[in-house]
Chain A
């Protein structure tokens, strides 16, 4: 079954990677590379995307003519989606284990960030056999 692991932008105040020390940023990036490589090796990797920062996010709505009306840019402190993984695993517990691993990525001081990772099952197009 497939799960999406949603990671919010890092906790307010920790700033973007560009504000971290070189060592801390390198350790952080190496952590993601190792995680993704491990997922790929296990045959669980479906996809991963990191998103540009909230500073570049734009909110769009349709006006009465259906044309886009934009709002933004948003302050850095707003909690927003930072990136996501899609994994194909055998059990929900395995998806939680991957999420826990992602959550513990090292922060600016080197200590685990323990970020909240939202785990959601992806809906399938699998059809049950014969419903009553």
Chain B
């Protein structure tokens, strides 16, 4: 990302916030800001960055707003022109504009895919075409998704202001969820990543940092940021030269980003002193224990198991129970873990899920039953919708049968 692009992305929510507050029309302001950004990207490249880039963008966006209203009605046009003429380059930006935008774009009335798309455009300052490429859909489709999201916001009448205190907890949960989804969507293949000019994981971390800076007292936001940093720290170690997946236990730990791990641990530790502990904090704590283990054999499994016990009490998510079963197996043996996995299969929820078969394969291998391990690796491979994961599972099966285990 070059200097101009970086600057534009930082300024995008500030400009949008200022213009939205001035005109009280989020939908039009969002379009106007996007047009101003595109104009800036073209002009600054040639003429250099202006002395007051934020003011420059606000003025251009205000002019676009006037153009927009001109096409609507003569009366509105006169009003808008009057306001646009008074749009000073130093138009005030409120400190919490970015936060207000974040709440708006992640409003619980939106579908998750709309919230993700709108957040990336309005708060992260990406263009529609960049977002479309990141999600491998046509640009017109992404444009529609964004425009529908804006229409829903308009229809729901959400004002451009901080949500009332009683709604804030629910809305904040939805903000964290959207940030988390942007981050996890980022795990695309290396081929895909090379084709993209946007790294969604970086964007997710950047946005979460901004929100965390504004709400430093929220422990779960800190937990989420820590979880992202601790997970992202292992990024380089996660795939081999051919792009193949490398599981946690086999990763070259010298490739882990120690600074990121230290930062994640520090943010998590500070958040743990603030009372109740949430699910993101627990997941970050688990990631921290992995991050701090010198080798796979040094992993503090009893502590990880204890954290999964807490997490399991907090969440009905069957994937949490599956991870808990793995930790249980690491502490009490593969046989005991398999019993928990069998219980998960009969209770439904994960019935027929490829992860269940993959975990079972792994535990059978640990238990010294290569035949069942191979059968379950192949079963999991036939069920996953992820190509890199399928390749990994097939290689696992091949490794065991090739070593004469079957």
Minimum CB distance partner of A128 in chain B: B389
For the residues of A in contact with B, the DSSP-based class is loop
Q: Does A90 sit at the interface, judged by CB under 8 A?
A: yes
CB distance from B252 to the nearest CB of A (A): 14
A-chain residues with CB within 8 Å of residue B189 when the two chains form the complex: 125-127
Question: Which B259-292 residues sit within 8 Å CB-CB of chain A?
Answer: 290
Binds A, one of B7-15, B92-100, B140-148, B157-165: B140-148
Contact between B248 and A131 (Cβ–Cβ < 8 Å)? yes
A-chain residues with CB within 8 Å of residue B142 when the two chains form the complex: 43
Minimum CB distance partner of B390 in chain A: A123
Q: Does B89 sit at the interface, judged by CB under 8 A?
A: no
Contact between A90 and B113 (Cβ–Cβ < 8 Å)? yes
Contact between A132 and B187 (Cβ–Cβ < 8 Å)? no
**Known contacts A123-B390, A125-B191; A43/B114 CB under 8 A:** yes
CB distance from B391 to the nearest CB of A (A): 10
Q: Does B192 sit at the interface, judged by CB under 8 A?
A: yes
Q: Does A104 sit at the interface, judged by CB under 8 A?
A: no
Contact between A43 and B141 (Cβ–Cβ < 8 Å)? yes
Docked complex Cα distance between A128 and B138 (Å): 25
Q: Does B239 sit at the interface, judged by CB under 8 A?
A: yes
Q: Does A46 sit at the interface, judged by CB under 8 A?
A: yes
Q: Does B60 sit at the interface, judged by CB under 8 A?
A: no
**Known contacts A46-B137, A130-B238, A130-B247; A123/B385 CB under 8 A:** yes
In this complex, how many residues of chain A approach chain B with their Cβ under 8 Å: the count is: 24
A-chain residues with CB within 8 Å of residue B234 when the two chains form the complex: 130
Docked complex Cα distance between A108 and B138 (Å): 33
Contact between A132 and B390 (Cβ–Cβ < 8 Å)? no
Interface residues of chain B, those whose CB is within 8 Å of chain A, are 111-114, 117, 135-138, 140-142, 144-146, 148, 184-185, 187-189, 191-192, 231, 234, 238-239, 245, 247-249, 290, 326, 358-359, 362, 385-390, 392
Contact between A131 and B358 (Cβ–Cβ < 8 Å)? yes
CB distance from A77 to the nearest CB of B (A): 33
Minimum CB distance partner of B145 in chain A: A43
A-chain residues with CB within 8 Å of residue B112 when the two chains form the complex: 90
Cβ 8 A contact of B389, one of A40, A45, A122, A127: A127
Contact between A127 and B385 (Cβ–Cβ < 8 Å)? no
Cβ 8 A contact of B385, one of A1, A41, A46, A129: A1
Contact between A124 and B141 (Cβ–Cβ < 8 Å)? no
Minimum CB distance partner of A125 in chain B: B189
Q: Give me 22 A-to-B residue pairs in the complex whose CB atoms sit less than 8 angstroms apart, sorted by A's number.
A: A40-B140, A40-B144, A41-B148, A43-B142, A43-B144, A43-B145, A88-B135, A121-B385, A123-B385, A124-B385, A126-B185, A126-B188, A127-B245, A127-B386, A128-B386, A129-B184, A129-B187, A130-B234, A131-B247, A131-B248, A131-B358, A132-B359
Contact indicator per residue, chain A 28-56, by CB within 8 Å of chain B (1) or not (0):
00000000000011111111000000000
Question: Which A78-132 residues sit within 8 Å CB-CB of chain B?
Answer: 88, 90, 121-132
B-chain residues with CB within 8 Å of residue A1 when the two chains form the complex: 385
Contact between A125 and B386 (Cβ–Cβ < 8 Å)? yes
